[in-house]
Amino acid sequence: MLTKLTDKLRSSAWTSALLDGLNVAALALMAGVSLQLGRTAIVDPLTTAIALATLALLWKTRLNNAWYIAAGAAIGLTHTLLT
């Protein structure tokens, strides 16, 4: 049903441009929030290494995101207990 609606909206030049603008705005918002989260979360060499390793694994594997979260939590807990 949603596909029919978007096809109808895309058939008009005005609403198609509106949908394109909404898509760009949503992507820009996600990029801005990701940048702010990165600045807040990546604060030392350990968090930088975790972020880079996770980014590489995201591109190379199809692991569920919950595994990345669990691994990050385990690494953080281990680091806290050892220091």
3 confidence band (pLDDT: 50, 70, 90): confident
Is 58:71 a contact under the CB 8 Å cutoff?
no
Q: What is the pTM of this model?
A: 0.69
Q: What is the mean pLDDT of the chain?
A: 95
Count the Cβ atoms, other than its own, within 10 Å of residue 50.
19
3-state SS, residue 68: helix
Q: Is 1 a residue whose pLDDT tops 90?
A: no
